[in-house]
Amino acid sequence: MSDTPRLTRRPEWTALEDHRARWHGRLRELFAADPGRAERYVVRVGDLRIDYSKHLITDETLALLQELATATGVFGLRDAMFRGERINVTERRAVLHTALRAPADAVVEVDGENVVPRVHAVLDQMSDFAERVRSGEWTGHTGRRIRNVVNIGIGGSDLGPAMAYEALRAYTARDLTFRFVSNVDGADLHEAVRDLDPAETLFIVASKTFTTIETITNATSARSWLLQGLGGEEKAVARHFVTLSTNAEKVSDFGIDTINMFEFWDWVGGRYSYDSAIGLSLMIAIGPDRFREMLDGFALVDEHFRSAPAEANAPLLLALLGIWYGNFFDAQSHAVLPYSHYLSKFTAYLQQLDMESNGKSVDRAGRPVQWQTGPVVWGTPGTNGQHAYYQLIHQGTKLIPADLIGFARPVAGLSEALEAQHDLLMANLFAQGQALAFGKTADEVRAEGVPEEQVTHRTFRGDHPTTTILATALTPSVLGQLIALYEHKVFAQGAIWDIDSFDQWGVELGKVLAKRLEPALTEGAHVPGLDPSTTALVATYRELKEV
Ligand code: F6P
């Protein structure tokens, strides 16, 4: 057993508990006493300006949180990650998504081998293929050019490319159609291909392990659809299927020539993989140059995380703020609210990044944790959320810290009239931050002549903390910067909580049980040891499907 004190017994932790117990700060008062916090509590990284002034913090809070970070060795673990050490302890793997965006002359070693040349060789292979598809040089089996690209994958092999495709839609080749199929519900593939011509369709089967049942099932069905549409000639598959995987053997077993495989490596976690070969669909959409701009955006924040001092380190600051609320204010969730239509899948992507990484209840040594770990991450783009669930954030009983993300300029290509709507969109973002922080007092409500019986209903307590992340525009580089910011935030929180942020054993049990149950649903097979509730549900299901 190690001698290191467990997290909640550290003096830095108990100092934060004392600070919390003494906490009575209200944001109105904090700003009145110290208007300078509006400028002081801003950190800049790359093109991102991150304002954290509307948080329930003072200089003392920040100092105490930073002491906790130092005591728990966040920066030591960070350096070990960048060095390629096997910090994913339960899978005994290095964690090197940062190598995916390292410049060509960088050296990052895994087991004594510099992996950067391999990363760039795959990037070149992807660029070549993407250009051939985009130019029409890569044709389908019948000689027609590819017009549709369908990515089949799930989790990290879907959410990243699907999110980034939406985010960067304004930069995409509009003469190509992109679809993303993930759900094993046959309706997903059906809807994705029903209006497509197989002769013009390229399937990208994305799976790190190439064993994921949803992806293999959908890829098998897609192959049947293709062969049916093209007269059953097996050799058509080679022109219409490419794979993205770490597992060449399984790709061959599936019947796809590995010549059409784009490789990545076991030191890239699924949820950290869309800047690897998993991003091929995105690269076809936006082109290799834009893809590389995005990688440069990631790399810029990697370098910031690696070298900025604690008090100006953006991912660390965001991590510490999350810990302040999650561990000392009992906040259970964290809302991410982008004020951009193009970021419609951003929060769904972050859900996997954050919740699959930090949804853990044992520490790195396998002992139960006695502290809260990762929050429930949720949210959708503003302003839609304002007319749905913001009521609860403003006046409900829960404390929900939120990130508000916005851009000074709309993306290029909107009409003048639509561009003019951007100010209204951003006015909503700023208004929400303002209302959440400062609320509206009962006296202010009364002063408006509101009848006394309605005063409490119309009062806003305020003191709901938000971070405002602003950038000039949503470019490929800015997207990379934003994703790297959250990746390293999640890393820093996991390091402080002393959990392995890079495994995901919690998804295994359901997978195994589903496989065992399937014959009971299809053939009524007996499943030994099945609990009475599930037995009854399966029986009812079988009855209903016969009706
Ligand atoms: O849900 C578990 C998981 O392993 C994720 O971590 C991963 O992103 C997803 O499944 C897909 O895995 P693969 O890319 O191996 O098909």
pLDDT digit of tens for each residue in the chain (547 aa)?
456 679 999 999 999 999 999 999 899 999 999 999 999 999 999 999 999 999 999 999 999 999 999 999 999 999 999 999 999 999 999 999 999 999 999 999 998 999 999 999 999 999 999 999 999 999 999 999 999 999 999 999 999 999 999 999 999 999 999 999 999 999 999 999 999 999 999 999 999 999 999 999 999 999 999 999 999 999 999 999 999 999 999 999 888 889 999 999 999 999 999 999 999 999 999 999 999 999 999 999 999 999 999 999 999 999 999 999 999 999 999 999 999 999 999 999 999 999 999 999 999 999 999 999 999 999 999 899 999 999 999 999 999 999 999 999 999 899 999 999 999 999 999 999 999 999 999 999 999 999 999 999 999 999 999 999 999 999 999 999 999 999 999 999 999 999 999 999 999 999 999 999 999 999 999 999 999 999 999 999 999 998 8
**C-alpha torsion sign, points 512, 514, 517, 522:** negative
63-97 tens-digit pLDDT: 999 999 999 999 999 999 999 999 999 999 999 99
- The minimum-distance atom of ligand 1 relative to the CA of 269 is 6
Instruction: Kindly give the pairing relationship between strand 376-378 and strand 333-338.
Output: parallel
Ligand 1 center to 350 CA (angstroms): 15
Kindly report the protein residue whose alpha carbon is nearest to atom 4 of ligand 1. Answer: 270
Mutate to test the pocket of ligand 1, among 358, 504, 505, 511 (most ligand atoms within 8 A of CB): 504
Listed as own residue / partner, the contacts of 508-517 with beta carbons closer than 8 Å and 24 or more positions apart are: 511/213, 514/213, 515/213
Kindly report the protein residue whose alpha carbon is nearest to atom 10 of ligand 1. Answer: 155
**Cα angle value 153/102/107 (rounded, 5°):** 120
How many residues are given for the chain? 547
The secondary structure of 383-432 as a DSSP string is: TGGGGTTHHHHHHSSS---EEEEEESSPPTT--HHHHHHHHHHHHHHHHH
pLDDT value at position 1? 47
pLDDT value at position 2? 55
Q: What are the residue numbers of the active site?
A: 356, 387, 511
Mutate to test the pocket of ligand 1, among 97, 154, 159 (most ligand atoms within 8 A of CB): 154
The number of beta carbons lying within 10 Å of the beta carbon of residue 78 is 21
Instruction: Kindly give the pairing relationship between strand 466-471 and strand 48-51.
Output: antiparallel
Q: 460 - beta bridge partners?
A: 440
285 near 165, Cβ under 8 Å? yes
The backbone torsions φ and ψ at residue 372, rounded to the nearest 5 degrees and listed phi first, read -70, 145
Kindly report the protein residue whose alpha carbon is nearest to atom 2 of ligand 1. Answer: 507
445 near 458, Cβ under 8 Å? yes
Mutate to test the pocket of ligand 1, among 88, 97, 157 (most ligand atoms within 8 A of CB): 157
Ligand 1 center to 212 CA (angstroms): 7
Q: What percentage of the chain exceeds 70 in pLDDT? A: 99
The H-or-E segment that residue 536 falls in is: helix 532-546
Q: What is the DSSP letter of 210?
A: S
Strand, helix or coil for residue 85: coil
Cα separation, 509 vs 543, in Å, equals 27
Ligand 1 center to 440 CA (angstroms): 46
Ligand 1 center to 223 CA (angstroms): 21
First to last CA, the chain: 59
- The minimum-distance atom of ligand 1 relative to the CA of 273 is 8
Cα separation, 147 vs 284, in Å, equals 11
Listed as own residue / partner, the contacts of 17-24 with beta carbons closer than 8 Å and 24 or more positions apart are: 17/328, 19/60, 19/61, 19/64, 19/328, 20/328, 20/329, 23/56
**Cα angle value 208/99/310 (rounded, 5°):** 120
- The minimum-distance atom of ligand 1 relative to the CA of 212 is 16
Kindly report the protein residue whose alpha carbon is nearest to atom 6 of ligand 1. Answer: 270
Ligand 1 center to 207 CA (angstroms): 7
Ligand 1 site, CB within 6 A? 154-157, 207-209, 212, 215, 270-271, 356, 504, 507
pLDDT value at position 474? 98
The letter for the amino acid at 463 is D
Q: What is the DSSP letter of 175?
A: T
Cα separation, 12 vs 48, in Å, equals 30
Cα separation, 103 vs 116, in Å, equals 8
Question: What are the percentages of helix, strand and coil residues in the chain, rounded to 5?
Answer: 55, 10, 35
Instruction: Kindly give the pairing relationship between strand 201-206 and strand 241-245.
Output: parallel
317-370 tens-digit pLDDT: 999 999 999 999 999 999 999 999 999 999 999 999 999 999 999 999 999 999
Q: What is the largest CA-CA distance in the chain?
A: 78
Ligand 1 center to 15 CA (angstroms): 39
237 near 255, Cβ under 8 Å? yes
pLDDT value at position 389? 97
**Ramachandran quadrant class, 410 (left: phi over 0; alpha: psi -120 to 50; beta: rest):** beta
Kindly report the protein residue whose alpha carbon is nearest to atom 3 of ligand 1. Answer: 155
- The minimum-distance atom of ligand 1 relative to the CA of 157 is 14
